[in-house]
Chains A and B, each alone.
Chain A
């Protein structure tokens, strides 16, 4: 993957780098294990930067094309990934478009709890 290093570093920054858990119990999936102000802030920040294409993420190059194109998230794809939204989330998203909408979707409570 052309973007493997980026996602590794992102996971590390979020405190859950793959295979680097120091204790044998693995990273917790309960809210108490990961929900904290700095952790939430990092997730929101990552969502904002991804949505605005300010991070060095590249698409996997197509066969015969050695250069990978820059990855610009698409709203439809992100909505499909997030899944159903609550009434509160839908109301909050009303009127948003483009990178703002993508950032909000990626930082939504529904996506964080998937």
Chain B
């Protein structure tokens, strides 16, 4: 036995011993995955990250937010040694943090400084560093991935993030409503024939194929909310989403957006209803996917921007800059689990963006690029096409 063999045997034994004590730790050292899944849960309106995960260890937190910080001081759930606590309504997420299935970035965001929902959402979804464009980064990722990978948007309308891909590369699967239940009759045959040679024909055929697939899986829930996904319906939608994702491992890229996070007034009551639904949905997703599928899935939860550090005069908060992002999954991957991602410089006024907002310390394209690299095996050259201007690329 050579010295090298002996060293490898000792390393293996040490690794196995470590695995026995810390079951999740070995995943951190796994080679790069290329059979992963990325799901983006986009919270439209600008989630107040400091209300969800608050830095109670910072003495200025209570000073800047005398009423909004109270729930976190009273009943918040500690997030390890990060100095942050989770709002009591997000207690389940604190448990995921403890089990290293969740990390968070308190100062995540884009380069947009307009504080406009319209512009900030476009910037996030385009992923090019510009606010004008015709293709979203997830559509470009779907095109780059190619092969049998399926990219799905769980909604009735095609958001910008999914626009621009060649026909058939991105699918839309509404999780609610009854609009897809077309009657099979002579009229439908004629309609299909009339649209056959046009883009609309491909869309109708895809709608019919989706309806068949949903019927095969379990059928539509007619009681679910119509139209766009409201966060209140998220637990039910997430369970359905998990069912669909689990049914086909080729569904490697997915997107859903939820509304209701623009909380200028009465924020405690509003988010007091929204946050439990958000946590419930994320848990429903995890439980519905099952251990095996959860291990190959990474979920990014984020918003177009965060909100002002100081609460306003109506017990709410206004449009800000840096905000909260959550990263969940069964295998922590390169970004790690149970960690604070990026850094947090505290709430001293001098450390704030324009002396009012959290700064952006973790660029959105850096995170997206890392997630795409892990889940889809994208090279740097591919990432440069999918996320032009991504920091860190040569």
Residues of A within 8 A of B177 (CB): 13, 38
> In residues 67-94 of chain A, which contact B (Cβ within 8 Å)?
88-89, 91-93
Interface residue from B117, B158, B180 paired with A41 (Cβ < 8 Å): B180
Residues of B within 8 A of A40 (CB): 200, 203-204, 207
* Residue of A32, A99, A104, A108 with most chain B CB atoms under a 10 A cut-off: A104
Q: How far is the CA of A53 from the CA of B183 in the complex (A)?
A: 14
> In residues 174-212 of chain B, which contact A (Cβ within 8 Å)?
174, 177-183, 185-188, 190-191, 193-200, 203-204, 206-208, 210-211
> In residues 204-243 of chain B, which contact A (Cβ within 8 Å)?
204, 206-208, 210-211, 226-227
Q: How far is the CA of A112 from the CA of B199 in the complex (A)?
A: 13
Q: Does B38 make an interface contact (CB < 8 A)? A: no
Residues of A within 8 A of B196 (CB): 88
Q: How far is the CA of A44 from the CA of B190 in the complex (A)?
A: 11
CB-based contact A37/B194 at 8 Å: no
* Residue of B163, B204, B210 with most chain A CB atoms under a 10 A cut-off: B204
Residues of A within 8 A of B63 (CB): none
Residues of B within 8 A of A36 (CB): 156-158, 172, 203
Q: Does A39 make an interface contact (CB < 8 A)? A: yes
Q: Does B118 make an interface contact (CB < 8 A)? A: yes
Q: Does A96 make an interface contact (CB < 8 A)? A: yes
| Count of interface residues, chain A, beta-carbon cutoff 8 Å | 37
Q: How far is the CA of A31 from the CA of B172 in the complex (A)?
A: 16
CB-based contact B200/A109 at 8 Å: yes
Q: How far is the CA of A25 from the CA of B163 in the complex (A)?
A: 18
Residues of A within 8 A of B198 (CB): 109
Contacts between chains A and B (CB distance < 8 A), count: 113
CB-based contact B179/A104 at 8 Å: no
Give the Cβ gap from B188 to chain A, nearest Cβ, in Å: 7
Q: How far is the CA of A104 from the CA of B188 in the complex (A)?
A: 7
Q: Does B304 make an interface contact (CB < 8 A)? A: no
Chain B's closest residue to A43 (CB) is B179
Q: Does A4 make an interface contact (CB < 8 A)? A: no
Question: Beyond A13-B226, A38-B156, is A103–B194 a contact (Cβ under 8 Å)?
Answer: no
Residues of B within 8 A of A (CB): 117-118, 134, 155-158, 163, 171-172, 174, 177-183, 185-188, 190-191, 193-200, 203-204, 206-208, 210-211, 226-227
Pick 28 A–B contacts, CB within 8 A, sort by A: A12-B227, A23-B117, A36-B158, A37-B172, A37-B203, A37-B206, A37-B210, A38-B172, A38-B177, A38-B180, A40-B207, A41-B182, A41-B204, A41-B207, A44-B188, A45-B178, A48-B182, A88-B196, A89-B194, A92-B191, A92-B194, A93-B190, A93-B194, A96-B186, A101-B187, A103-B187, A104-B194, A109-B194
